[in-house]
Structure 1
Amino acid sequence: MSLLHHGARQEALPQLSRFRGEFYECLTARSDALFELADAVLCGNGPVRSLPELSLVGEHRRGHGGLYAAVARGGMDAARLRRALAAVPLPRAADGRLVLAVDVTCWLRPDAHTSPQRILCHTYGRGKDQYIPVPGWPYSIVCALESGRSSWTAPLDALRLAPGDDAATVTAGQLRELVERLIAAGQWRQGDLDILVVADAGYDAPRLAHLLRDLPVQILARMRSDRVLRRPAPPRQPHTMGRPPRHGGEFVFGQEDTWGIPDTETVTETRLYGTARARSWDRLHPKLTHRSSWATAEGTLPIIEGTVIRLDIDRLPSGATPKPVWLWWSATGTDPAGVDRLWQAYLRRFDIEHTFRLFKQTLGWTCPKIRTPEAADRWTWLILAAYTQLRLARPLAADLRRPWEKPAAADRLTPARVRRDFRHIRPSTACPAGAPKPSRPGPGRPPGRKNTQPTPRHDVHTVRKTDAAKPKSKKPTTPRPRRTG
């Protein structure tokens, strides 16, 4: 064992015990049952399939009735838990900055007719590889990303989107509160590089940059390939009449003759993608109009300049035909080395998909048939706290591999492999939960008596009828570029 790894082990155990104690303090009602429920998630053999099976794990000393009651009627101080997650050691990029990835993942509940606040969530791959809306609870999750090849992230916040929420506004508020917590926790100090927020094409990157312009934050997001941006307005010529123009010529993503000479161009050889060619154009902005999310804006709309990066690769690991990737960065004036760091940081965004898959397939985030959204939020925060304990226990875990698995170095264990050894790590950490008290179950409803208070049923929130009744215009045969922001 190297001295560096030995030092990491010595620091990891106090940090893990400290977080477990802070997590217990965040539980305000039925704290012992909720804390042992998180331990059961971490110490169970195999993936979590249902809540009752967790009551059979040895670390959970209570029955399945207390487990259900803790999830349904327990209490949790989410604000304090958010501060605790922001205070733990976070991974950094190669240049030392914090890189945050934000994305929405859905807890699908198509048959939960008694669950309120369900929204139609878009899913891919159901049926004939089509986008099919399925009722569920969408959650916006923010994670800190590591550098290099890794399936680890650091979840920092989770927020359920309520019906009628504007994704850009809600995400901007979520990121603002998170950045303020990171600054208060000392994760960012004056003089550090700005925090980089990486997002996919579903987010309005210029609007996020505009809403977070007073914070040390930079936005890097993918844009659709049919977008049209504008160049800066040309200088006003003397003796010219009329109002000066606010926008310059068009930059059409799908028309190469409008691009011009790129400001930077780099060629990099990669192991997974072959030759990666990145070109960037500086000071490009969308032409905003008083529609969509800018409909309520008053006065002159802002000009939000940024840098556009086009990434072309030779191949994909899946064997599919690669397509060019268009990125928009909310800052200007970068060099070729900075462009390489930006597109590499965007590719690290896909690590958050590994975290979502672990949440759902291993930790059982979407397995319980929870009725109320408040209980779903409680269970979601419990899963985030459990994953954080896995990340803090990473230097302490041994490689308990299966006979058909390849050996892995101590610093290359996946979250699933760390979970296999958490049962042996747990006795060395703080376990503040008290022993269960003996109790007798209630009598319940007398046999033969019908339920006189049936659970109310709730409809799925969809588009209003007034909007759906409007006649839709016929789509053109050839797609037209999007010329607005």
Structure 2
Amino acid sequence: MDSLQDDAARVEALTELSRFRREFYGCLTLRADALFELTDAVLCAGRPVVSLPELSLEAVRRRGHGAMYDALARGHINVSRLRMTLAGLELPRGTDRQLSIALDVTAWPRPDAECSPERLHCHRPCRCDGVRQTIPGWPYQVAAALGGGRSSWTGPLDAVRLGPTDDPTEVTATQILGLLARLGEAGQWRPGDPDVLFVLDSGYDIVRLTWLLREEPVRLLGRIRSDRVMHAPAGRRKGPRPGRRPRHGPEFRLADPATHPAPAQESAGSHERFGAVTTRCWGRLHPKLQRRQGGWNDHNGELPIVEGTLVHLAVEHLPGNRDPKPLWLWHSDPDATAHDVDRLWRTFLRRFDIEHTFRFFKQTLGLARPRLRNPEQADRWVWLILAAYAQLRLARPLAEDLRRPWEKPLAPDQLTPGRVRRGYPRIRRILGTPASTPKATHPGPGRPKGRTSAPAPRHPVVKKRIKRDNPRRSGAEEET
């Protein structure tokens, strides 16, 4: 009986993977065969991707390396359709079926690409001298669904490149709105379901995001600096004289415990990695906004009061015997007693699963390996990597544990993305390919003699984002 169920599960997994491959092929509207075989080469390579020319030597790449570069330079991907396809896949969820999505930025380093436009100073430690904390490159903001337990798997749903004229907070709000629309259309979220939880790390203006998304069915959870100052709700005006009611109540200095009132909730527990854990939360706190800070310059009228819940996490120790530092989280729901604070910080820890995904993208799938000149070519490559990772997620029930002699055996439901990729060539032979057979061809004439092109223009690295009149992107998604 169990074998019949296993066979039915494998047939269902093969059907779902085959359906996604056909749908992905339909998203490639120009140079489709070359782009699709390039994605298969990324999946079937027996080693980490180190360069594009080596991918052209894979057996699944039936076209030459020239067609590969031409596909990245002149190909076309229907990004809107591909985003909708990714949103329709089965997504990892928590034990309570809560849909949690992590947002984070990863950099494509291009420090020496002077001819590549739209490079920014990305916040990433540079290995050149070990001191610099930024490196010129293209930053990509990725959204990925999170699971409920410790895992190296996530469900990437979207990727947006941040440009010189983009307001990061506006772009993030627009990306979240697009994700909500696609999740609703795909049936992943319906009215009456719990609000979608977006988990952010430090670096995001989570207070402004809370205001921009105040009417949407979302909740935001993110880390904030430990030196910030919040305020309690304003009380009645002091003194007998009439006047305007104060807007801000007593100060709540995160770094000064003397200003902390009694918490609304407090819990104590233990964690296998951090030891004893104490969690406290305070509700109905808000920061004092300033027009000259945080992108509030264009706000019409009086600055709003944006309330939320502060969560303080204190642990006994950190891995590697490091001294524990205070961790403060902001939750967009101001009612501190309406949710489980213990589940909130555990959900925030799941945000670090996206770091495993970024590392797998770069070290194994070669996300930042190609030396492409134009950012549009880089966008196409990023979407190919996201489609390749989605195929690995769908192939998990079909993969075998092809482990190295020095590796520990893993259960089928615990296989890592790297081990699933080792067995993907066998799965690919069963699935076949929708790409057409290449036609017979002959070498081209090459560059004409005596003709040289003008030097390529140089583009400086943008040090400060350029302000524009309407920083929010339109609802229509661009095509890549």
Give the TM-score normalised by the residue count of structure 2: 0.93
Go from structure 1 to structure 2 and tell me whether the alpha carbon gap of 1:128 and 1:171 turns closer, same or farther (over 3 Å shift).
Answer: same
Write the distance in 2 (CA, Å) between the matches of 1:33 and 1:221: 41
Deviation at 1:454, TM superposition (A): 2.7
For 1:386 and 1:327, the matched residues in 2 are separated by: 34
Q: Match for residue 330 of structure 1?
A: 332
The answer to whether the 8 A contact 1:266-1:336 is kept is: no
Offset, 1:10: 3.5
Deviation string 1:177-209 (CA, Å, 9 cap, x unpaired) is 111111111100111110000001100111111
Q: CA deviation at 1:132?
A: 2.7
**Higher mean C-alpha deviation, range 115-124 or range 101-110:** 115-124
With 368-377 and 318-327 compared, the bigger mean Cα shift is at 318-327
Does residue 234 in structure 1 map to residue 244 in structure 2? Answer: no
Asked if 1:113 is matched to 2:107, the reply is no
Q: Distance in 1 between matches of 2:245 and 2:76?
A: 59
Measured against aligned partners, the alpha-carbon deviations of 1:121-164 in whole angstroms (never above 9, x if no partner) come to 12226366544321100001100001111010000000000103
Matched AA of 1:26: C
Distance 1:334 1:167, change over 3 A: same
Assess, with a 3 A threshold, how the Cα gap between structure 1 residues 338 and 416 changes in structure 2: closer, same or farther.
Answer: same
Question: 1:3 and 1:407, CA in 2 relative to 1: closer, same or farther beyond 3 A?
Answer: farther
2:218 maps to what in 1?
Answer: 217
2:31 partner amino acid: R
Name the residue aligned to 1:25: 26
CA distance, structure 1, for counterparts of residue 342 and residue 415 of structure 2: 28
What is the CA–CA distance in structure 2 between the aligned matches of 1:443 and 1:255, rounded to whole Å?
73
Q: Within 2, Cα distance between the matches of 1:96 and 1:5?
A: 24
After superposition, the Cα gap between the structure-2 partners of 1:249 and 1:89, relative to the gap in structure 1 and judged at 3 Å, is: same
Instruction: Please name the residue that 1:249 is paired with.
Output: 250
| Secondary structure in structure 2 of the residue aligned to 1:159 | strand
Give 2:474's aligned residue. Answer: none
How far off its partner does 1:395 sit? 1.0
SS at match of 1:14: helix
Paired residue secondary structure (1:126): coil
| Contiguous gaps of at least 5 residues in structure 1 | 466-485
User: How far apart are residue 77 of structure 1 and its match?
Assistant: 0.6
Secondary structure, counterpart of 2:346 in structure 1: helix
Distance 1:249 1:129 in 2: 43
Structure 1's 371 and 439: CA in aligned 2 closer, same or farther, altered over 3 A?
A: same
Cα distance per residue 1:216-241 (max 9 Å; x no partner): 10000000011001101114579651
Q: Is the 8 A contact 1:145 1:348 kept in 2?
A: yes
Deviation at 1:335, TM superposition (A): 4.0
1:262-411 correspondence to structure 2 within 5 Å: 262-292=263-293, 293-335=295-337, 338-411=340-413
SS at 1:463 equivalent: coil
CA distance in 2, matches of 1:31, 1:82: 17
Unaligned 5+ runs, structure 2:
467-480
Return the offset for 1:334. 3.9
The answer (yes or no) to whether the contact 2:236–2:246 under 8 Å persists in 1 is no
Give the Cα separation in 2 of the matches to 1:166 and 1:452.
36
1:187 corresponds in structure 2 to 188
Q: Is the 8 A contact 2:125 2:135 kept in 1?
A: no
- Change in Cα spacing, 1:125 to 1:403, as seen in structure 2 (3 Å) is same
- Structure-2 residue corresponding to 1:476: none
Q: Residues 237 and 227 of structure 1: is their aligned pair in 2 closer, same or farther, counting only changes over 3 Å?
A: closer
1:205 and 2:206 equivalent? yes
Deviation at 1:86, TM superposition (A): 0.6
Task: Tell me how far apart the structure 2 counterparts of residues 218 and 321 of structure 1 sit (CA, whole Å).
Answer: 31
Aligned pair count reads 464
Cα displacement (A) at 1:9: 2.9
Instruction: Write the distance in 2 (CA, Å) between the matches of 1:411 and 1:7.
Output: 16
Deviation at 1:280, TM superposition (A): 0.4
Instruction: Call closer, same or farther: CA 1:240–1:410 in 2, change over 3 Å.
Output: farther
Q: CA RMSD in A?
A: 1.8
The answer as to whether partners of 1:199 and 1:349 remain within 8 angstroms in 2 is yes
- Tell me the amino acid that sits aligned with residue 39 of structure 1: D
* Other-structure match for 2:134: 133
Residue from 411, 414, 425 that aligns with 1:412: 414
AA at the equivalent of 1:374: E
Matched, 1:425 2:458: no
Secondary structure, aligned partner of 1:285:
strand
Instruction: Give the secondary-structure state (helix, strand or coil) at the position aligned to 1:408.
Output: coil
> Once the 2 structures are TM-superposed, how far is the Cα of residue 4 of structure 1 from its aligned partner?
7.1
- Report if aligned partners of 2:105, 2:142 keep a CA contact under 8 Å in 1: yes
- Three-state SS of the structure 2 residue aligned to 1:96 is coil
Q: Equivalents in 1 of 2:144, 2:31: separation in Å?
A: 28
Question: For residues 309-359 of structure 1, what are the alpha-carbon distances to aligned partners after superposition, in whole Å with 9 as ceiling and x for unaligned?
Answer: 000111222332121110000003244971011100000000000000001
- 1:234-279 CA distances to partner (integer Å, 9 max, x unpaired)? 1457965110011101100100000111111111111111111111
Instruction: Give the TM-score normalised by the residue count of structure 1.
Output: 0.92
In the other structure, the counterpart of 2:163 is 162
Contact 2:166 2:465 in 1 (8 A): no
Counterpart position of 2:461: 460
The aligned counterpart of 1:50 is 51
In structure 1, what is the equivalent of residue 475 of structure 2? Answer: none
Cα–Cα, structure 1 residues 464 and 423, in superposed 2: closer, same or farther, change >3 Å?
closer
Offset at residue 455 of structure 1 (A): 2.0
Percent pairwise identity: 55
Cα distance in 1 between the residues matched to 2:169 and 2:7: 44
Q: Kindly provide the amino acid, as one letter, of the partner of residue 166 in structure 1.
A: D
